[in-house]
Amino acid sequence: MKIGSGAFCVVFKGKLEGRAPICKIQPSVATQCFENCEVAVKKLPEYADESAKNDFVQEIDFMKRIGYHSHLVSILGCITDPQLDPCLIIEYCCNGDLLKYVRNRRLATEDEEFMRAYYVKFCFK
Ligand SMILES: Nc1ncnc2c1ncn2[C@@H]1O[C@H](COP(=O)(O)OP(=O)(O)O)[C@@H](O)[C@H]1O
Ligand SMILES: [Mg+2]
C-alpha cells in the first residue's frame, strides 16, 4: 500500500517477514524487535532520472553509515545491488509525518475557531 511520495521517491507500507538485516549488523535490545513487523519501503518511481537515482543511492549510503539510533527513523535494511532497483527499508511511523500532523492540528484549530464564531452568532440571535 502506498503511504506517501516526496521529492524523488515513493513510500509503501510493507510487512517484514523474519528479522531485519539491522538485527545482525547492530545487535542490541532495541534492534531485536524488528522482526515480522510493519516497515516503510522507499523506492524510486519508474520514471526516475539519473540525478534522482544518484540522490537515492546516496541517501541509502548515508542511512547505512548512521545505522540504528533510537531517536531517528532508522534503516532496517536495503537493496543496493546495481543489477536491482535500489530499495530502502525503514521503521514504519504509524502517525505519519510531522508536516501532516501540524497541518491536521491547524485544521482542527480552525474548525474549533469556526465553531466558536458560530456559537457566538447563535447566542446573539
Ligand atoms: N518511515 C515512514 N513511515 C511512514 N511514512 C513515511 C515514512 N517515510 C516516508 N513516509 C511518507 O512518505 C512521504 C515521502 O517520504 P520522503 O522520505 O520525504 O521522500 P522523498 O525523499 O522523496 O522526499 C513522507 O512525507 C511520509 O508521508
Ligand atoms: Mg521528502
pLDDT tens per residue, range 31-51: 999 999 999 999 999 999 999
Containing 14, the helix (H) or strand (E) segment is strand 10-15
21 Cβ below 6 A of ligand 1:
no
* Bigger pLDDT: 27 vs 120: 27
Which backbone phi and psi does 30 adopt, to 5 degrees?
-65, -40
Q: How far is the CA of 108 from the centre of ligand 2 (A)?
A: 24
Nearest to 52 by CA among 87, 8, 86: 8
CATH of region 2-94: 3.30.200.20
Distance CA 18, CA 20 (A): 7
Atom of ligand 1 nearest to the CA of 99: 25
Atom of ligand 1 nearest to the CA of 11: 12
Would you kindly state where each structural domain of the chain is located, as residue ranges? 2-94, 95-125
pLDDT at 27 over 90: yes
48 Cβ below 6 A of ligand 1:
no
| Cell of residue 88, nine digits | 530502502
Distance CA 100, CA 111 (A): 16
pTM: 0.86
